[in-house]
């Protein structure tokens, strides 16, 4: 089961957790770990994370049952567009050259408040 820990947290206290082959593969994308993430790791035989920094932090905390399995993504095909290509795309889709464009993909994660992220981005 892949997702944030809150999506499967109710199951970790069920009698069948760890009696069947449970493979939690969870998104831990910021530090420090949340309490429910630590509890989820402690109660699982093996706990898989998406990023190696989370595995390293778990080991630092004495949680040695964490392994990294990165998400399925060909990172070699992800790259920054040059300025000319960006201008061409804006023109093609009738988007002003001065428009600020962003995506919102983080639902209700309070540690990623959109206003704070935007302010930080604008200061770059």
For 26-65, what is each residue's pLDDT tens digit? 778 788 988 888 988 998 888 888 888 999 999 999 999 9
- pLDDT for res 10: 75
Looking at per-residue pLDDT, the higher value among 124 and 33 belongs to 33
For 66-79, what is each residue's pLDDT tens digit? 999 887 777 778 78
Name residues whose C-beta falls within 8 Å of residue 118's C-beta, 6 or more positions apart in sequence: 102
Task: Return the structure tokens found at 37.
Answer: 């993430």
Query: What does the domain layout of the chain look like in residue ranges?
Result: 1-124
Q: How far apart are CA 8 and CA 5, in angstroms?
A: 6
Sheet-wide strand order for 25-26: 2-3, 25-26, 47-49, 66-68
Answer whether 15's CB lies under 8 Å from 31's CB. Answer: no
Looking at per-residue pLDDT, the higher value among 87 and 116 belongs to 87
For the whole prediction, is pTM greater than 0.75?
no
């Amino acid at each position: 089961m892949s997702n944030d820990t809150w999506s499967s947290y109710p199951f970790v206290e069920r009698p069948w957790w760890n009696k069947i082959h449970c493979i939690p593969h969870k998104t831990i994308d910021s530090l420090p770990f949340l309490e429910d993430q630590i509890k989820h790791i402690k109660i699982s035989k093996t706990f898989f994370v998406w990023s190696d920094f989370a595995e390293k932090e778990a080991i630092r905390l004495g949680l040695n049952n964490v392994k990294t399995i990165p998400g399925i993504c060909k990172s070699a095909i992800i790259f920054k567009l040059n300025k000319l290509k960006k201008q061409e795309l804006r023109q093609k889709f009738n988007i002003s050259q001065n428009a600020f464009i962003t995506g919102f993909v983080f639902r209700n994660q309070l540690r990623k408040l959109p206003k704070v992220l935007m302010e930080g981005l604008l200061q770059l």
